[in-house]
Chain A
Amino acid sequence: MDAVQKAFNGVVALDGASLDIEKGEVHALIGQNGAGKSTLIKILTGVYHSDGGHVHFDGAESFISSPREAQSAGIATIYQELNLVPLRSVTENIVMGYEPKRMGVFIDWDEAHKRAREILQRFGIDIDVTARLGSFSTAIQQLVAIARAVSLDAKLVIMDEPTSSLDVSEVKVLFGVVRGLRDAGVSVLYVSHFLDELFEICDRVTTMRDGRTVDCRKMKGVTKLDLISGMLGRASSEIAEAGMTEFSGGEAKHGEVLLCAENIATGPRLTKLDITVHRGEIVGLGGLLGSGRTEAARALFGIDALTGGAVSLKGASARLETPAAAIKAGIALLTEDRKAEGIIPDMSVRENLTLALLPKLTRNGQIDRAREREIVQSFIDALGIKTAGMEQPIRELSGGNQQKVLLARWLAVEPELLILDEPTRGVDVGAKREIQAIIRDYVSKGFGVVLISSEFEELVEGADRIVVLNEGRSIKELKNPGITEDILVRALAHTGEEAA
């Protein structure tokens, strides 16, 4: 495909993306969240239609207008969420829509099972094809999805984060299948956040940033540092020259220890996190998408149960089993997903702002409405929330002002530890600065903050220390002053391999 463009409601999602995939190669597609990977894939598979540019497939210019057409043209997609039917048998899932018929009406099951078995054997999978698909592991289900795609004579298989729910041994099996596909002349477009995987199975890699494809090169000879700098838009030489400074240990120049979490784990996405927060300190959590940042926040706020490790608050061990318990213990979480987990759209600014504070505004079950209004007004003034009045429904506010209301919801409770997951995502520049100032101000009163952000600039400038996460583990700790974005990027890049 060549110079493809796509805009949604005037917001440009793709701006001249080009991608060429050769026959029989495994091609990686990488980029940060919002870089345009999904949009590109959706155009390839006919879910979206491009506003400009051309797509050539198999030599000829093609106009793929629906997923159905993409499939018959030979493009198959394996999504993270499998589009299979777990309650039906393996065979049914493989032959669905293309069942062998007897006398034109009845399904020839013997033939169908035989065909399914043959297809799976090509991948070295030997399972009972008459069993329900749902009785097998995710990995097997994923392989069945791939088998189905191949049985439909796919020429290009698109895999979107295929390993995100697989364990190490399952990943090995999957890679074997991918190599098998390549050897059979099938092309694979491989999308993944796990950069290490790419070196193992991909031939070439295309990097996307801000809706453009910025770079396409052979996997051989590329370093992880190159990939990351491509995704972030910084020259790798620049990063390399900046050198690496280790900040480890170091006594606390801030107040007493507020939170100390050791070796906490909640599952495959968060396996080992160590983090300490002192009073008056902003601790950043740095990492790429999928590194376990959000999972760390969920663990500390009692949303996900701990499977290992221990948390102590102000020196005493704490059991945070529910958000309510965490709040009682003095922890608050500003969630990443403002719409789904933050605002109550039809409620007013006032009702949204006091939601967490309600128990403290209540005597004998009755809300003290005068005090409620007083507090809400003081926050509207202090944070500069632009609203027609506290009775205005929050859904009518701009993103930045909604975010300020949600921030105020927690500031009003005065939590000792405030966890902020992407506090400035999707808000305009002005509001962003104001929110950052509010956070600074809050910490100066002796409270602690954990800051999660995919914007490295925000982390580097905002945090006193940064705990670097990779694949669910905290791998390094950087300390300000002295952290630069380049140092952070290098810390991320030097995960696992200590070369270069």
Chain B
Amino acid sequence: MSTQSYVSGSSQPIFNWKKVLKNHGGLVALVVILGFNILVTPNFLQLQTLFVNISQVATIAIVAMGMTLVIATGGIDLSVGAIMALAGAIAPLIFQSEFGQMYPALGVALAIGFPLLVAMACGLFNGVLVSVLKVQPIIATLILFISGRGIAQVLTNGNLQTFKNPNFSYLGTGKILGLPFQGWLAIAIACVLFWIISRTIFGRYVLAIGGNERAATLSGGPVRRVKIAVYIICGALSGLAGLIVVAINSASDAARNGDLMELDAIAAAVVGGALLQGGRAPIFGAILGAVIIQLVKYTLLANGVEDEVALIAKALIIVAAVYIQQARKE
């Protein structure tokens, strides 16, 4: 009960090894990938490698946690990548504006706060479509999936915005105790979300809605509001990830920021143990899933495999994860 890394509707005994293997296939996969890299990939066991991977994995993990919440209610959010692009496009516009130049501190604060608000508004839009207008989540979020990136490109006239702003860049390049700032941020978010899921009434409703929405409604649960809230949280986390990507690169490219992130995030959530029909919200599982996805990417890249081939590998991971899910159900 106390040290479980998964939160779900039911809790299982921890030291049942067969169950651990079946339910924690992700951990096994992680060990295999690490072992492979230590043996094959040159210079894998170096601090530099760790830093590169942490700074990359943080964005996937942050989005994947939001995705996990949405999936836990039985929904899905395809718009996360587009929201990243939108948030990332707005930030430089603010701190590079005349106002932002005049009041640098306030400019940076607004450049972080305002894009997050916009991202939350996007989540609100998704949530209202899904829970009030009863649009299928996959269709509802497809709207911003298409138009969100378009809006971002219109805002920036399709230009790459480059900048030099060390305060803002701290989001993506800062270090605490020698480790990248965004890694700490991801862990902090995970702890908060884990607490929310396991200890609060909101978290209980999230899992109840995914487990049996009808029963949750008939028990007086605020089903609509909870569903809207998870999309808002997912939107906010996507926006944050978009800001981090921009901060890492000291440049905002609306066409590429968050491209295909929806697939990475869904894959990470599923690899981490989320059930697509809802009812489970393994927050730390999502981080584990993100680490696996990132390591696979890195492994292929470091060994000279082309990007296009890496996409195929990612698809195979999703297939494997879904297969394990099926086995888990039986």
A interface residues, Cβ below 8 angstroms from B: 301, 303, 323-324, 327-328, 333, 335, 340-348, 351, 355-356, 358-359, 361-362, 365-367, 369, 391-393, 409
Contacts and interface: CB of A to CB of B under 8 A. Distances in A.
Given A351-B204, A359-B201, A367-B200, A323 B220 contact: yes
A301 B215 CA distance: 14
A192 B203 CA distance: 46
Given A323-B219, A356-B219, 4 more contacts: A327-B219, A345-B211, A351-B204, A391-B11
Contacts of A342: 215, 218
Contacts of A356: 219-220
Interface of A is mostly: mixed
Nearest to A365: B200
Interface in B218-236: 218-222
B214 interface: yes
Contacts of B211: 344-347
Contacts of A324: 220-222
Nearest to A393: B10
A365 B222 CA distance: 13
A323 B219 CA distance: 7
Interface of B: 1, 8-11, 199-202, 204-205, 207-208, 211-212, 214-222, 279-280
Nearest to B13: A391
A343 B211 CA distance: 9
Nearest to A355: B219
6 contacts: A324-B221, A343-B215, A345-B211, A347-B208, A359-B201, A393-B10
A356 B205 CA distance: 10
Contacts of A351: 9, 204, 207-208
A367 B204 contact: yes
B214 A327 contact: no
A393 B214 contact: no
B11 A347 contact: no
B302 to A, nearest CB: 40
Contacts of B218: 301, 303, 323, 333, 335, 341-342
Contacts of A333: 218
Contact of A347 (B1, B9, B201, B214): B9
B212 A348 contact: no
B11 A348 contact: yes
A409 B211 CA distance: 16
A432 B211 CA distance: 27
A369 B199 contact: yes
Closest 9 CB pairs of A and B: A344-B211, A347-B9, A327-B220, A346-B9, A356-B219, A393-B10, A344-B212, A355-B219, A362-B201
Contact of A391 (B10, B212, B215, B219): B10
Nearest to B275: A346
B215 A344 contact: yes
Contacts of A362: 200-201
A206 to B, nearest CB: 36
Contacts of B207: 347, 351
Contact of B219 (A348, A365, A366, A409): A409
Contacts of B279: 344, 346-347
Nearest to A339: B212
A483 B104 CA distance: 84
Nearest to A410: B219
B19 to A, nearest CB: 13
Contact of B204 (A340, A345, A346, A358): A358
A341 B215 contact: yes
A399 to B, nearest CB: 16
Given A344-B279, A391-B11, A355 B201 contact: no
A355 B8 contact: no
A183 to B, nearest CB: 46
A328 B215 CA distance: 17
A500 to B, nearest CB: 42
Central interface residue in B9, B10, B207, by most chain A CB within 10 Å? B10
B9 A355 contact: no
Contacts of B208: 344, 347, 351, 355
Nearest to B8: A346
Contacts of B8: 346
Nearest to A325: B220
A341 B11 contact: no
B201 to A, nearest CB: 4
Central interface residue in A341, A343, A358, A361, by most chain B CB within 10 Å? A358
A347 B202 CA distance: 15
A393 to B, nearest CB: 4
A347 B204 CA distance: 10
A340 B211 CA distance: 11
A355 B11 contact: no
A442 to B, nearest CB: 18
A327 B218 CA distance: 9
B212 A345 contact: yes
B215 A355 contact: yes
B108 to A, nearest CB: 31
Contacts of B11: 348, 391
A361 B204 CA distance: 12
A343 B9 CA distance: 12
Central interface residue in A344, A356, A359, by most chain B CB within 10 Å? A344
